[in-house]
Amino acid sequence: MADTSLLKFVDRDQAYPAKREPEIRAEDFREIADRYAMPDAEDQAGRCSQCGVPYCSVHCPLHNHIPDWLRLTAEGRLREAYELSNATSTMPEICGRICPQDRLCEGNCVIEFSGHGAVTIGAVEKFITDTAWEEGWVEPLVPGAARGQSVAVIGAGPAGLSAAEYLRVNGYDVHIYDRYDRAGGLLTYGIPGFKLEKPVVMRRVERLKAGGIVFHESFEVGRDASMDELRQRHDAVLIATGVYRARAIKAPGVEADGVVDALAFLTASNRKGFGDAVPAFDDGSLNAAGKHVVVIGGGDTAMDCVRTAVRQGAASVKCLYRRDRANMPGSQREVTNAEEEGVEFVWLSAPESFVGGETVTGVKASAMRLGAPDASGRRAPEIDPAGGFDIPADLVIKALGFDAEDLPTLFGARELGVTRWGTVLVDNKTLMTSLDGVFAAGDIVRGASLVVWAIRDGRDVAASMHKYLKAKASAGRKAA
Ligand SMILES: Cc1cc2nc3c(=O)[nH]c(=O)nc-3n(C[C@H](O)[C@H](O)[C@H](O)COP(=O)(O)OP(=O)(O)OC[C@H]3O[C@@H](n4cnc5c(N)ncnc54)[C@H](O)[C@@H]3O)c2cc1C
Ligand code: SF4
């Protein structure tokens, strides 16, 4: 029987769900930790200090009612905890798995500041909603009374899916167009299964389909329809296409066989997990098995690549990053996971050239050092003339991040306003682009960001589109 009292952070230690042993987990693509068993979730939720001003909630992009659902969990009122957590998020069990909690809710937990270790908010959030799915508490999506207006959503990632859900609840006919053959965006094809198992994503998509949202898969806007055509077919359009233009490395030899893009590598791996035929994986080009792998980059994508390569059976995996550990953008939690699984980090190093001619056989690396802080406040890396070294490699994965594609050209919509980085410009209040009735949300507005921000943007843009569509309907009625 769980002790349902709260404020137990002094005498009850922080305990995340146990991770599987590195050698075992590196054998498969399952998540690395099981979820809490009862009564562990209740016990951990009971560590919450129930602050008057909950900084966890303030720093959660969705402003989830965290202390309230922690209290309900501690009291064993799981169904109510689920309902409250579900009230502010379309995918709580996904955020519980993959939010960088150390930078968001948990990183701002008062107990963390007092040295007792944050409440394990993400793990409890995952536990609550996974339990809800199992117990049948997750309600079907019930569409609101039909309004006779339709909306096109371009992109079935977390931003598009969240907006679609809220719009459907408000009674709109919602059509989602995605160039992939499965919905989910980076949840499906970018993020590996060891962080987010795919059935978790697919059950969300199935729920939306069952609620009457129409999915047009393998439909690329720009190829299968222009922006103009979509605007004629629908009363409003949402651009939620994410950012997919991989940042290039300018170094001699980068065109060699065996130097590949991170997303191609991760997508191939995720497709294999679905059981798809992937010729570029089957012929070895995108398969790390038996290879000496070098991943270039220090963000979350690089971390996903190194850990995928380990699971594919690479002979060795090294990660080259031009700054040091303290100055890397990726999550420290992921670095620890990767190190446990046998990845070697080569800090303060950058590729100078790729050697081997037609097929890569190694990386010539420059040693780097940290100079003065740059505009972002981080110390800028510069070449250290004292050193340089060679690393043998037969697969090099470029993971330097992503920029926006050229949407005005791709969509045949020259009037679509974009920033100098190619992200879509929106009015801060209405989230509408320079085209009337065309809105935008998620990474295509923010630049590469986080799932939880995409969900938040989806929620905000749905509210703004609802307002716009109501005004449009009312103007139509007056004119009739
Ligand atoms: C490898 C990797 C790992 C990550 N790990 C994490 C993590 O652990 N935690 C976290 O919070 N965030 C993570 N992120 C970031 C997160 O995945 C993104 O911020 C988030 O998915 C953005 O959501 P979105 O809906 O804006 O775009 P996306 O998820 O990119 O979805 C966009 C969709 O639009 C579709 N699309 C694009 N162009 C067209 C077109 N012309 N026509 C039709 N469809 C189109 C795409 O096919 C895609 O399905 C990771 C990103 C990557 C690349
Ligand atoms: S959505 Fe993310 S930031 Fe918000 S409570 Fe959940 S894990 Fe924390």
Note the ligand closest to the C-alpha atom of 91.
2
Note the ligand closest to the C-alpha atom of 127.
2
Residue 288 sits at φ, ψ, to 5 deg, of -85, -5
Q: Which of 60, 90, 91, 456 to mutate to test the pocket of ligand 2 (most atoms within 8 A of CB)?
A: 60
Cβ of 381 less than 6 Å from ligand 1:
no
Nearby residues of 246 by Cβ (< 8 Å), 6 or more positions away: 261, 262, 263, 398, 400, 401, 402
Q: Which of 451, 459, 460 to mutate to test the pocket of ligand 1 (most atoms within 8 A of CB)?
A: 451
Q: What is the pLDDT of residues 21-80, one digit of tens each?
A: 999 999 999 999 988 887 889 999 999 999 989 999 999 999 999 999 999 999 999 999
The set of protein residues with a Cβ atom below 6 angstroms from ligand 2 is 60, 62, 64, 66, 95-96, 99, 101, 104-105, 121-122, 125, 452
Q: Please tell me the distance from the alpha carbon of residue 106 to that of residue 122, in angstroms, as a whole number.
A: 8
**Per-residue confidence band for 213, with pLDDT thresholds at 50, 70 and 90:** very high
Q: How far is CA 123 from the centre of its chain?
A: 17
**Confidence at residue 301, expressed as pLDDT on a 0 to 100 scale:** 96
Cβ of 160 less than 6 Å from ligand 1:
yes
Q: Which of 186, 216, 295, 455 to mutate to test the pocket of ligand 1 (most atoms within 8 A of CB)?
A: 186
Comparing 49-53, 161-165, 437-441, which segment has the lowest mean pLDDT?
49-53
Q: What is the pLDDT of residues 182-197, one digit of tens each?
A: 999 999 999 999 999 9
Ligand 1 atom showing the smallest separation from residue 222 Cα: 41
Q: Is the backbone peptide bond immediately before 39 cis, with ω within 30 degrees of 0? A: yes
Angle in degrees, CA 418, 422, 428, rounded to 5:
45
Domains delineated in the chain: 4-135 (1.10.1060.10), 150-243+404-479 (3.50.50.60), 247-398 (3.50.50.60)
Q: What is the pLDDT of residues 63-104, one digit of tens each?
A: 999 999 999 999 999 999 999 999 999 999 999 999 999 999
Give the H or E element holding residue 282.
Answer: helix 279-282
Q: Please tell me the distance from the alpha carbon of residue 237 to that of residue 439, in angstroms, as a whole number.
A: 6
- Helix, strand, or coil (residue 112): helix
pTM value > 0.85? yes
Note the ligand closest to the C-alpha atom of 160.
1
Q: What is the pLDDT of residues 100-117, one digit of tens each?
A: 999 999 999 999 988 899
Cβ of 192 less than 6 Å from ligand 1:
no
Note the ligand closest to the C-alpha atom of 423.
1
For the chain, count helices (H), then strands (E): 19, 15
Q: Above pLDDT 90, what percent of the chain?
A: 89
Centre of ligand 2 from the C-alpha of residue 99, in Å = 6
Cβ of 121 less than 6 Å from ligand 1:
no
Cβ of 16 less than 6 Å from ligand 1:
no
Ligand 1 atom showing the smallest separation from residue 405 Cα: 38
